[in-house]
Amino acid sequence: MIREIINFTNGLLSDIPDIMQWNIQPDKGLHVFIDIDETGNWANQNLQQSIDYDYYDGKNQDIKLWNDCIRYQEATEYITMNKVSKFDKKKKIHSCSPFAVAFNFNFNDKEKSELGIKIFKKSDKPSKEELKSNNALIRAQRRIVIEERLKDYQSNSLSIYGIKKKDGDLFSNQPFIYGKQIMGFFNNLHKILNAVELIAEYSLLTGKDYLHLYLRTIPIDVQEELHNRYVKQEIFSGEVMLKEHFGSVGFFTAYNQKKPFLRHRTSFLKDGVSQRFSEEDAITLYTFEKLLRRKPQCLPNPLPIMVDGREWNKRVIKLFNESGDTLSFRDLLKQLFAKYNMKSLPNYYLLNLSKTVSGIVINDFDFVPLFRYYLDGDIVVSNVTNSSSLQDKSFEREREISIKTIFDFERVAVREVFNNSLVKIKEDKYVTNYFGEIDSNYVIGGTLMSNLMQKYRKAIYAYIYKSDTNAINASMFDDIMYQSVLSNIKLDTFENKRFEWNNSIKKKINIWFSLYKMFNQNDKRENMVTKINELKNEISRVTKGETDLLSPESFAFGAGQLVSYLMDRSVSTNKTYAMLEPYLQKGKSRFLQDAIAQTVTVYKHDINQIYKGRFEFLASQVLTYGGDIDMKPLLKYFLAGCFSPCTIYEKTKEITNNN
């Protein structure tokens, strides 16, 4: 895995030399440049905007010191947050250079409580004055903390950069012509902070906003050279094999002496570390991680890394960055396939990452031998249940939906089946949750749907993004669809007069039956759309007394139609689809027949005379159907009967026309 990333990054740096300048921007906050003269005195005490400082609000990039802010920040930044402790063991100061001091204003809840800072909950509605006062306290307390850490930071940064104190003369053992400026910078920091507090934009800083103080007197070329030396010196984590100058790196290698359970116990290499890298490779991985951290991002996520395909890697990265907007993986591939008239994408690794508070986390890294963008022939989601939407005060039958690409499947089917929670589309914003935490409180369908997502989302990701056609089989698909419909049954309430008019369930059944053969590796499954249409015609004839139930599937579908009609008879003021659950729990047909018979007894007085004949024809067939049938494989037909248009309500003329 690591070797593929190294090769990929080296190829990008060679083929796109300016990529390290793409999408780079300074931290949100205040950037202040300090001039210290040769005698150690502070020269630019009258700080002027656009000359000595600039404020970046995270949006407006039209600031005069933009390039300076970026360059100085890059020359003083940390390698990883763990490395910051060598400069400040409490990790309050985040710069890693004797030529800068940088920190943010973020306190955790424990620290806030100890310092008397208010912690506002989401439900709180503090006034502007309360927020202003609290933020002022945050800044004041942060300054106290920072000034307490400055002495150690100064000593450690000089030591790490090889600028050591000897015989009272700070730089006598290593000539450094800017020694007076460095000492002047640290000696004046209290005064500098006083002056910075007078800058109007300082009052805007809070939370994760940064204050950067840069010692501008020392040429940036010198700072960059020394920072590069520091990076090479500290790029390894753990022990370095000095002879070969190889070492372990902190880039997803799980090297941690304090957590032995994370180490590679089966490795034959020293201390259980599976692989050590050269200094050159370690720097490459550091560079790759810097590219990953870019905001806005300059590498897509998931990231395809082509095997022996440098030209394709270059095309993908350029296409991603030339779009003007941050492309999703699906939009990136859509443009790639269209631009180069591709039918498939072979031989690449797919790296999926998440950026968390703790850093970058690898969700998945796998080899994809062949990615299929287009499905085998157009797949049509037929409206077999007659789902309808309200248009101009009347219901209009919804149109069939064509699924041509794998991402059409994700956008149409996966979104609908998982209640807009696994794939969420709102106001053209397309969000997926294949790897993040799932909070059932924010999932439509509650715990049942949350559990369904947890159980199958990795398989769905593999099916869509890695073209693993074996990731979902027929039984898995049936379970997904049944449990998804069940989540509606457990929680949905009646919104219209008839039981059948639940559009969400209808859409799911349409997807279930239209994609029924899509996950059948043995090609033995029947065409369910055709089958359900045949059953609707058959039950229509049964309600006219023209035929008997001809099969177990007919019985299940007819039973669903009968139960749907009976549920409409309920006079409950708060009807829910949970009324259907007792029928779904019947393992054998005779138990289902008993339950239906009991319901008929309850509602027989309310059978409308208009529909009585058709009801009686269907009821007699369903309740007298012979055999002790196992209902589990027939539940889909039963549900289809419940949520398809009820033939009992059909008028004689309509029945004649439909036949």
pLDDT at 179: 87
Are the C-beta atoms of residues 548 and 632 closer than 8 Å to each other?
no
pLDDT at 450: 96
Using CA of residue 168, residue 170, residue 172, residue 173, what is the dihedral sign? Answer: positive
The 10s digit of each residue's pLDDT in 565-584 is 999 888 877 788 999 999 99
Cβ-proximal residues to 122 (8 Å cutoff; 6+ apart), any chain = none
Are the C-beta atoms of residues 27 and 73 closer than 8 Å to each other?
yes
Strand 401-405 relative to strand 374-381, pairing: antiparallel
Secondary structure (3-state) at 614: helix
Using CA of residue 599, residue 601, residue 602, residue 603, what is the dihedral sign? Answer: positive
- Whether the predicted pLDDT of 495 surpasses 50: yes
Q: How confident is the model at residue 102 (pLDDT cuts 50, 70, 90)?
A: very high
Cβ-proximal residues to 550 (8 Å cutoff; 6+ apart), any chain = 538
Query: Cα(434)–Cα(421) distance, rounded to whole angstroms?
Result: 10
Distances (CA, A) of 597 to 207, 562, 592, 610: 66, 10, 9, 21
Query: Cα(110)–Cα(27) distance, rounded to whole angstroms?
Result: 25
pLDDT at 655: 41
In the block, tokens 């300054």 appear at: 143
pLDDT at 427: 74
Across the chain, mean pLDDT equals 89
Cα–chain center distance at 212? 31
Secondary structure (3-state) at 345: strand
Q: How confident is the model at residue 659 (pLDDT cuts 50, 70, 90)?
A: very low
pLDDT at 317: 96
Q: How confident is the model at residue 271 (pLDDT cuts 50, 70, 90)?
A: low
Q: How confident is the model at residue 56 (pLDDT cuts 50, 70, 90)?
A: very high
SS3 for 179-211 is HHHHHHHHHCHHHHHHHHCCCHHHHHCCEEEEE
Can you tell me the mean pLDDT for 282-309? 91
Q: How confident is the model at residue 654 (pLDDT cuts 50, 70, 90)?
A: very low
Q: Which two tokens stand for residue 181?
A: 């400026």
Q: Which two tokens stand for residue 477?
A: 């698909």
- Whether the predicted pLDDT of 266 surpasses 80: no
Q: Which two tokens stand for residue 68?
A: 């300076």
Can you tell me the mean pLDDT for 526-534? 95
Cβ-proximal residues to 386 (8 Å cutoff; 6+ apart), any chain = 397, 506, 644, 645
For 259-263, 274-278, 316-320, 355-359, which range has the lowest pLDDT when averaged over its residues? 259-263
The 10s digit of each residue's pLDDT in 212-240 is 999 999 999 999 999 999 998 888 765 55
The amino acid occupying position 51 is: I
402: β partners? 380
Cα–chain center distance at 213? 35
Q: How confident is the model at residue 242 (pLDDT cuts 50, 70, 90)?
A: low
- Whether the predicted pLDDT of 22 surpasses 50: yes
The 10s digit of each residue's pLDDT in 174-186 is 557 888 999 999 9
Query: Cα(143)–Cα(135) distance, rounded to whole angstroms?
Result: 12
Cβ-proximal residues to 38 (8 Å cutoff; 6+ apart), any chain = 180, 181
Q: Which two tokens stand for residue 176?
A: 């450094």
pLDDT at 308: 86
The more confident residue out of 97 and 244 is 97
pLDDT at 267: 44
The 10s digit of each residue's pLDDT in 598-640 is 999 998 888 776 678 899 999 999 999 988 899 999 999 999 9
Q: How confident is the model at residue 429 (pLDDT cuts 50, 70, 90)?
A: confident
Can you tell me the mean pLDDT for 2-27? 93
pLDDT at 238: 58
In eight-state DSSP terms, residue 545 is T
In eight-state DSSP terms, residue 42 is B
- Nearest one of 207, 361, 352, 355 to 293, comparing CA atoms: 355
**Residue 313 CB burial class (10 angstroms; 0-12, 13-18, ≥19):** buried
Query: Cα(148)–Cα(288) distance, rounded to whole angstroms?
Result: 35
Secondary structure (3-state) at 264: coil
**Residue 206 CB burial class (10 angstroms; 0-12, 13-18, ≥19):** middle
> What percentage of the chain reaches a pLDDT higher than 70?
90
SS3 for 288-353 is HHHHHCCCCCCCCCCEEEECCCHHHHHHHHHHHHHCCCCCCHHHHHHHHHHHCCCCEEEEEEEEEE
Side-by-side strand order, sheet with 29-34? 53-56, 29-34, 207-215, 100-105
- Whether the predicted pLDDT of 421 surpasses 50: yes
Beta strands in 262-408 (DSSP E): 277-278, 303-306, 344-356, 359-372, 374-381, 388-391, 394-397, 401-405
Are the C-beta atoms of residues 555 and 620 closer than 8 Å to each other?
no
304: β partners? 350
pLDDT at 650: 82
First to last CA, the chain: 62
Query: Cα(563)–Cα(194) distance, rounded to whole angstroms?
Result: 78
Distances (CA, A) of 492 to 417, 487, 505, 580: 15, 8, 10, 11
The more confident residue out of 157 and 276 is 157
